[in-house]
Copies of this chain bind each other. A is one copy, B any other.
Amino acid sequence: MTPTATTRAYRRLSVEARRRQLLESALGLFAHRAPEEVNLDDVAEAAGVSRPLVYRYFPGGKQQLYEAALRSAADELEQCFAEPPQGPLTQRLSRALDRYLAFVDQHDTGFSALLQGGSVVETSRTTAIVDGVRRAAAENILAHLDVPEPGPRLRMTVRMWITAVEAASLIWLDEDKQPPLDELRDMLVEQFMAVLVTTAGRDEQTAGVVRWALALETPEGPVGGLARRVLPVVSDAAHLL
Whether A202 is near chain B, meaning CB under 8 Å from some CB there, is: yes
Interface residues of A in 135-192 (CB under 8 A from B): 152-153, 155-156, 159-164, 166-168, 171, 175, 178-179, 183, 187, 190-191
Number of copies of this chain that the complex holds: 2
A61 CB to nearest B CB, Å: 19
Tell me if B202 and A187 are in contact (CB < 8 A): yes
Chain B residues within an 8 Å CB radius of A15: none
Q: Which residue of B lies closest to A198 (CB)?
A: B194
Contact of A214 among B122, B166, B211, B236 (CB under 8 A): B236
Q: Which residue of B lies closest to A226 (CB)?
A: B201
Q: Which residue of B lies closest to A193 (CB)?
A: B198
Whether A13 is near chain B, meaning CB under 8 Å from some CB there, is: no
Whether A1 is near chain B, meaning CB under 8 Å from some CB there, is: no
Tell me if A214 and B234 are in contact (CB < 8 A): yes
Q: Given that A160-B164, A164-B164, A228-B241 are known contacts, is A233 also in contact with B210, CB under 8 Å in the complex? A: yes
Candidate in A178, A218, A223, A230 with the most chain B CB atoms within 10 angstroms: A230
- Give the size category of A's interface with B: 35 or more
Interface residues of A in 183-241 (CB under 8 A from B): 183, 187, 190-191, 194-195, 197-202, 207, 210-211, 214-215, 217-219, 221, 223-231, 233-234, 236-237, 239-241
Whether A123 is near chain B, meaning CB under 8 Å from some CB there, is: yes
The stretch among A38-46, A71-79, A124-132 that forms the contact with chain B is: A124-132
Chain B residues within an 8 Å CB radius of A178: 152
A199 CB to nearest B CB, Å: 7
Q: Which residue of B lies closest to A239 (CB)?
A: B219
CA distance A164 to B123 in the complex (A): 23
Chain B residues within an 8 Å CB radius of A237: 214-215, 217, 223, 227
**A-B contact list, 19 entries, CB within 8 Å:** A116-B127, A118-B125, A122-B122, A160-B164, A160-B167, A164-B164, A164-B167, A187-B198, A190-B198, A195-B195, A210-B233, A211-B233, A214-B234, A214-B237, A215-B236, A221-B240, A223-B240, A224-B240, A227-B240
